[in-house]
Amino acid sequence: MTVYNEVDILLVEDNPDDLELALHALRREHLANNIFVVRDGEEAVEFLFCTGRFQDRSFENPPRLVLLDLKLPKLTGLEVLKLVKNDPRTKAVPVVVLTASREERDLVSSYNLGANSYIQKPVDFDQFREIVKSTGLYWIVINQHPISNPATMAARP
Amino acid sequence: MSSTPKILLVDDNPADANLTCEVLATSERQTQVSTVGDGEQALQFLHRSGQFADAVRPDLIILDLNLPRKDGRAVLAEVKADPELNELPVVIFTTSHAPRDIARCYELGANSYVSKPGNLGQFFSAVRSIENFWFGFASLPD
Amino acid sequence: MISSPTNGGGQSRLRVLLIEDAPADAEIEIAELRRGGFEVSADVVETQKQVRDHLEKTKYDVILADYSLPNFRGMDTLDILREKNLHTPLILVTGALNSETAVECVKQGAMDYILKDHLARLTISVRRALEDVRVRLERTRAQEQLAAKVEELARSNCDLEQFAYVASHDLQEPLRMVASYTQLLAERYRGKLDSSADRYINYAVEGATRMQALLEDLLSFSRIGRNGVKPAPTDVSSAIDEVLKNLELPLKEHSVTITCNPMPTVLGDRFQVVQLFQNLIGNAIKFRAKRNPCVTISAEKKDHEWLFSVFDNGIGIAADHRDLIFKIFQRLHTRVEYPGNGVGLAICKKIVEHNGGRIWVESELGQGSNFRFTFPAAPADKTGKKEDYELYAKNPVSR
């Protein structure tokens, strides 16, 4: 399905409240036309590696940003991160860890495994929304994502 | 990160380096910026060797690509291959918009890639955004 | 070198190699040539060795050969000529020869054949042979000159393109410094120096920023055809979607109605196709008239090409400007009236022509413009059903 190939942000989140807040924050800023949600580590891996449910997806059209929770069913966020950042086909996709964890160990492991960045979810809802918004803005607007197909570069008027 | 955030700025163009420092200096947030002009010095700084024996470990590296002596890509590759240094976030900040350069940097493990805008206002915004995100929202290793 | 006037018939000096074993026949042939107006200097030979030796030492204008000599076939001279890479015309002068053999000889390379009892034709035949040589020589020379010119042009073109690219690319860096720091000066010192200083700084900033835009456009222009992308089937419809997304803000701001008819697949570089449509649609928005701006995009198939139309109801273009607007840096308005560098249409033209197409505009002042261009069709492209649909209404609905 073509819609799987035009995903701007892949949101990997199993907590329904956090998911709702994140979606709301991202949509409000019109940062992305196409936000796709997966709720466990296995689905995330299938999506990014174009297998299983997502075999129609193509490596040529990776999401521009992956927001990855660490605490996930089936496969943990760190395991997903390791798989994605160790494979040349997916290594370049920007993955930002968005987690409730306060463990220094998780932070260090994430950066070591190649996470592009690490964000701690604030407890406060407003702050959470703010942080998602700013993260989205930075990674979608300021940051240049790897372009596998030059056609995606906006032509200058 | 309780202390003042420390930035290692690697840029061989004094005008650009100056501009970046200007933007950071005008921010409400205090940052400590060390600037080096070539790739070899950058690595010496990070390894705290030679003239940089007293260097402090930075929290963020802002790295240009086209540098004398050792170019930005080589610095990036070395930093990300070194277990002592690879957790340091590296933001590539360069004039190049070439997709090849962008792709290559991500392959080498760059955390982020920002193109230096040609226009002053946008340049300010870019540096400000880098500072705001990495020190205001992201959590960095101690 | 045969020194002769342009008409080979005017040549008088003639060096002949006569391959003939009957001296009397040789005399008669020489006499006939003299009677025809030639100053003949002839060498008469009869063996293959003699033929070779003479061809080695002398440059002949023509060779007259008997068909059969005791130890030698006249036609074998052709092999010797080929061996030595000589193009001297050979005319067979012979006794009875059956017509099939004669035709065969001409096929094999003899210029002509003359029967010994019809020598009257000899002079004409020789003159025709000389003319033939002259024409061939001229053609070869012309071809060589053309090839040299083409190579020189290609090299010059390549140099020029490379120069344009390097110049605009390398100029960007110092220009950025000038632009950034003059802007910084403006901000830091505005009102703190005298009013002249403010004005001077503003002019400097304006100049620098304009130059930046110009360089970016030039870079863009020079990049066309240099990025080494092989033409591939490109879905025009999706390219236009991308353009509309890129132009989302101005489209909404000016409530532009876009009507896009079914679009085909063309053979090209997608990035260029996007650029092409973006420049045309961008122009349609920029040069809108007072009434509700509308842009209609359509395509029709013509043989192996698609003919596209981008029609707008904007300010239109006067007849004598219709060719001018495609020239690089050519503008029809002041910068105050309409912004821009005058590169957009030049880029469109370059893209279209690079892909083997043509671009032109049909327009009248005050009556909108129809920009039309051709593009090669992709080998097996499928056209959708013919139905019109609107993408943006006056109150845009998000897709």
- pLDDT per residue as tens digits for the range A65-109: 999 999 999 999 999 999 999 999 999 999 999 999 999 999 999
Condensed to tens digits (0 to 9), the pLDDT of residues C21-63 reads 999 999 999 999 999 999 999 999 989 999 999 999 999 999 9
Separation in Å, CA C11 to CA B58, C126, C192: 92, 11, 90
A-chain residues near C275 (CB < 8 A): 155-156
Q: Which of A56-70, C38-52, C165-179 has the lowest mean pLDDT?
A: C165-179
Closest chain B residue by Cα to residue A107: B141
Choose the closest CB to A117 out of B83, B102, B111. Answer: B111
Q: In 3-state terms, what secondary structure has residue B136?
A: helix
Condensed to tens digits (0 to 9), the pLDDT of residues B61-80 reads 999 998 988 899 999 999 99
Q: Is the pLDDT score of C312 beyond 90? A: yes
Mutate to test the interface with B, among A98, A106, A144 (most CBs of B within 10 A): A144
Tell me the pLDDT band of C197, cut-offs 50, 70 and 90: confident
pLDDT computed for residue C7 by the predictor: 44
Q: Is the pLDDT score of C2 beyond 60? A: no
A100 Cβ under 8 Å from any chain B Cβ: no
C-chain residues near B118 (CB < 8 A): 172, 175-176, 179-180, 212, 216
A146 Cβ under 8 Å from any chain B Cβ: yes
Tell me the pLDDT band of B2, cut-offs 50, 70 and 90: low
Interchain pair A116, B111: CB under 8 A:
yes
Choose the closest CB to A117 out of B89, B113, B126. Answer: B89
% of residues, chain C, pLDDT over 70: 92
Closest chain A residue by Cα to residue C278: A157
pLDDT computed for residue C60 by the predictor: 94
Measured between alpha carbons, how far is C322 from C304 in angstroms, rounded to an integer? 26
Contacts of C119 (CB under 8 A, 6+ apart): C28, C29, C32, C93
Higher-scoring residue by pLDDT: A119, B101: A119
With helix as H, strand as E and coil as C, how does C193-221 read? CCHHHHHHHHHHHHHHHHHHHHHHHHHHH
Contacts of C140 (CB under 8 A, 6+ apart): none
Question: Degrees (nearest 5) of the Cα angle C11, C12, C13?
Answer: 110
Condensed to tens digits (0 to 9), the pLDDT of residues C101-130 reads 888 888 888 999 999 888 999 999 999 999
Q: In 3-state terms, what secondary structure has residue A128?
A: helix
Q: Is the pLDDT score of C172 beyond 60? A: yes
ipTM field: 0.89
Measured between alpha carbons, how far is C202 from C196 in angstroms, rounded to an integer? 10
Measured between alpha carbons, how far is A150 from B3 in angstroms, rounded to an integer? 42
Condensed to tens digits (0 to 9), the pLDDT of residues A10-47 reads 999 999 989 998 888 888 877 777 899 999 999 999 99
Condensed to tens digits (0 to 9), the pLDDT of residues C246-293 reads 898 899 999 999 999 999 999 888 889 999 999 999 999 999 988 789
A155 Cβ under 8 Å from any chain C Cβ: yes
pLDDT computed for residue A148 by the predictor: 54
Tell me the pLDDT band of C399, cut-offs 50, 70 and 90: very low
pLDDT computed for residue B119 by the predictor: 81
**Cα within 13 Å of Cα(C46), Cβ side:** 10
Measured between alpha carbons, how far is C62 from C174 in angstroms, rounded to an integer? 70
Q: Amino acid identity of B62?
A: I
- Rounded mean pLDDT of C360-375? 93
Chains A, C: CB contacts within 8 A come to: 28
Interchain pair A148, B112: CB under 8 A:
no
A108 Cβ under 8 Å from any chain B Cβ: yes
